[in-house]
Structure 1
């Protein structure tokens, strides 16, 4: 299978080359040239465990990767997940479930993709002999998951930018308390969008990108989205057959990658009715899917910090398919959005999608209500999914993080202070972090100094 840029001005690449490249040279994002039809495989896949399902799914996409290497990458990715089901489906009542995606090493859904991506990078180094320097930005969970996916891997350095004061204290400790020599957690005075914009400019300097052996770990990397597709298929198979019709996945999202993965599985033939996009008060996606207007506002810090985003990186992949896989239209729309900070779609199709926005007060109310009604504790991001839930059919809310990562909000909501042994261990470790201005020249200088020292 070949992968093309959403902007159509870069050569098609194989899976391994697209993963290694990250951001396309023309500034676009890699997507499959054509999405495969999953329907011939679904019956055979239904009884598979998580790792086996992931391996079978990736065989359709990683066609240039040695099957033996793929199997090992996938198997190793999920060894450190604490639940035997890897992604257990928790039933609150008939027709309402939470898909728990927080049993990985950093207690967040990003582990599903980033444990695998780390193994793919390691296999690439072994195959080519070339080192890799991984660069990414995070609004909270991506950084920790990316770092832990690359800990101890030879030939890899990882540089993660995050907004100082814009992630939870425990999220920051997960990035800064690794004691690993190949990890550089870099705080910036700015927002996630500032960090992401700087990184895109760094990747836009093709000479520097090649000389520094840069690769991307953010959801701009193709493998991230593909790995997240798997848990939608897995969840579908764990539902009783009578609940598989009229199914809506409720997806807390800020960067659009999580819901894009689900939408791709629908386009590939998984029989899903729709997707409910749950945002916090930074609601660019809510506004888009209710008005057709994509417009940047200021970022307002919230109690669901991983969604404190205004520019959704993966929206461009959605746009590519929404516009009939027409890269010229994508370039036109993205250019207008870059110049004006907004774009209005005259014929935006919202049939598959609904959306909601939750304030901090809403988040606390949902944590309290769900705890009182079901004895179940939500993290603040998952709580956004309970705002204006679809009233009919089967609802599967994606549980994106362990509530122990956000103890202050949980305590404010229900008077309990959740803890996790993995997180408690971090409190005894001295953090190691760096501080940079969020501009591409500062980032390039920092990377150059640390990979040559």
Structure 2
């Protein structure tokens, strides 16, 4: 399996080669030269597998240069009931991502897929725990070191830090928007005292943090000298690890391979739903992929109109589903690459328009930049938007009628999922976090605190260690350099 850049100017590479990096040298994102396919016989066999064995079967299609015995050992080391132990009443930790029927009316069914049972109570653990083990495995072979430089809107940071803390040869430098995460999210990250963890709170929004990660990734001399890698979803291994739970969700929700399901995915940086797109391209019978956004509705606008219009920091809202407070969706480029027929020259021209004009228009209307919008339905994509009032109403409704407390992002997903239900096609909503991570809004919606798993009772009271900086690439580079000498 070889990987190519969406921008078309980087040499094809193996999985292990791109694992420790981020952006390709030409500034593009890596994708397989062609998507591996899953046969009907394989899908039938996979119904019998544990999550770890399923992960191995999916991963070996992409990581063909890692010995299968090693890859299987890594999957089994990662996906255990002990690691994913933060299950709620009625859930089975051994299933890793158990399903729960939320509602079923007139042949229309909504199912929640629990992805938040890992150590940081968010779906990011599903990929990040594997990434930590892959990094350690790869670095150990060469007795090498890696300095991870990433950005988070809330959940990626803690998931990465918990996955990498104590890993030999690994340091983590994580940017986050200052005072724009929930108190729980902030405490999860900043309370870590491990010597290989460095938290940097940036005076700005997530997009400012993400821009700095890309700027450093594009400084090839600095990146090489300081051995910079990334754990953001621009890292291909992050995305491919997420593909696994789409297969698990489908196989758990159906009894035969001629059935279809749909997925609704709370979407900010487009990494989570991009994994669903890849699963669909591999042959998984997905009907719809529904992107649920919050007030930062760049993706919803595109899937409704064909217009991709990124917002500046000043127009990016701080919301009660803060992990989606994003106006530049990095992984969106991977989908546009497929939408344009994998035409790197066309892709590069469109993203040049993003840089120079703030976006592009594929609606096909007079004066637009293209007409690819008409092909979006072929890929199953649709979208919707949820506001603060919507998520409060959804949290209250789900608690009152089903006795389940959901977090704010999952509430956005449920609200939008209800707009796209089809008889006899199960809608799986990907749960993104446990509600304890966003207690301020749970208290506003329900008048009480969210239940907390053991060990997180007083996390906000722990001492915190972090640096506050301006959104200044030179300042961040100097900080990295000072702490890697």
What range is the shorter-chain TM-score in? over 0.9
Give 1:399's aligned residue: 431
The farther-off stretch of 203-212 and 77-86 is 77-86
Aligned residue among 214, 217, 220 for 1:200: 214
Listed one character per residue, the Cα deviations across residues 204-249 of structure 1 (whole Å, up to 9, x for unaligned) are: 1100000000111100000011000000100111114279734210
Give 1:381's aligned residue: 409
- Cα deviation, residue 197, structure 1: 0.4
Secondary structure at the counterpart of residue 119 of structure 1: helix
Structure 1: segments with no counterpart, 5+ residues: none
Give 1:184's aligned residue: 198
- Cα deviation, residue 296, structure 1: 1.6
Aligned residue among 267, 274, 278 for 2:288: 274
CA distance in 1, matches of 2:300, 2:258: 26
- Cα deviation, residue 130, structure 1: 1.4
- Cα deviation, residue 386, structure 1: 2.0
* 1:4-403 matches, cutoff 5 A: 4-39=4-39, 40-79=41-80, 80-82=83-85, 83-94=93-104, 95-241=109-255, 245-297=259-311, 298-345=315-362, 346=364, 347=371, 348=373, 349-351=375-377, 352-388=380-416, 389=418, 390-392=420-422, 393-403=425-435
CA distance in 1, matches of 2:145, 2:63: 21
CA distance in 2, matches of 1:367, 1:138: 25
CA distance in 2, matches of 1:51, 1:285: 32
Listed one character per residue, the Cα deviations across residues 384-415 of structure 1 (whole Å, up to 9, x for unaligned) are: 01224213231111100000111111111112
If the length of structure 1 is used for normalisation, what is the TM-score? 0.97
**Given that residues 381 and 400 in structure 1 are in contact (C-alpha distance below 8 angstroms), is that contact kept between their aligned partners in structure 2?**
yes
CA distance in 1, matches of 2:185, 2:56: 30
Aligned residue among 405, 408, 417 for 2:440: 408
- Is 1:448 matched with 2:448? no
CA distance in 2, matches of 1:201, 1:143: 19
CA distance in 2, matches of 1:139, 1:76: 28
CA distance in 2, matches of 1:173, 1:71: 34
- Cα deviation, residue 422, structure 1: 3.2
**Given that residues 257 and 285 in structure 2 are in contact (C-alpha distance below 8 angstroms), is that contact kept between their aligned partners in structure 1?**
no
CA distance in 2, matches of 1:350, 1:325: 14
- Cα deviation, residue 423, structure 1: 2.2
CA distance in 2, matches of 1:75, 1:443: 37
Secondary structure at the counterpart of residue 350 of structure 1: helix
If the length of structure 2 is used for normalisation, what is the TM-score? 0.91
**Given that residues 253 and 277 in structure 1 are in contact (C-alpha distance below 8 angstroms), is that contact kept between their aligned partners in structure 2?**
yes
**Given that residues 170 and 423 in structure 1 are in contact (C-alpha distance below 8 angstroms), is that contact kept between their aligned partners in structure 2?**
no
Listed one character per residue, the Cα deviations across residues 128-179 of structure 1 (whole Å, up to 9, x for unaligned) are: 1110000100000000001111011111100000001111111111111122
Give 2:472's aligned residue: 439
CA distance in 1, matches of 2:262, 2:254: 14
Give 2:89's aligned residue: none
Secondary structure at the counterpart of residue 261 of structure 1: helix
Secondary structure at the counterpart of residue 4 of structure 2: strand
CA distance in 2, matches of 1:22, 1:102: 25
Secondary structure at the counterpart of residue 457 of structure 2: helix
Cα 1:244–1:93 shift into 2, 3 Å: farther
Secondary structure at the counterpart of residue 354 of structure 1: strand
Secondary structure at the counterpart of residue 232 of structure 2: coil
**Given that residues 245 and 394 in structure 1 are in contact (C-alpha distance below 8 angstroms), is that contact kept between their aligned partners in structure 2?**
no
- Cα deviation, residue 425, structure 1: 4.8
Structure 2: segments with no counterpart, 5+ residues: 86-92, 365-370
CA distance in 1, matches of 2:287, 2:438: 32
CA distance in 1, matches of 2:19, 2:214: 16
CA distance in 1, matches of 2:244, 2:50: 11
The Cα RMSD (Å) is 1.3
- Cα deviation, residue 69, structure 1: 2.2
- Cα deviation, residue 316, structure 1: 0.5
User: Matched residue pairs, number?
Assistant: 452
Secondary structure at the counterpart of residue 250 of structure 2: helix
**Given that residues 22 and 235 in structure 2 are in contact (C-alpha distance below 8 angstroms), is that contact kept between their aligned partners in structure 1?**
yes
Secondary structure at the counterpart of residue 455 of structure 2: helix
Listed one character per residue, the Cα deviations across residues 318-353 of structure 1 (whole Å, up to 9, x for unaligned) are: 111111111111111011111111100022123111
- Cα deviation, residue 435, structure 1: 1.4
- Cα deviation, residue 45, structure 1: 0.9
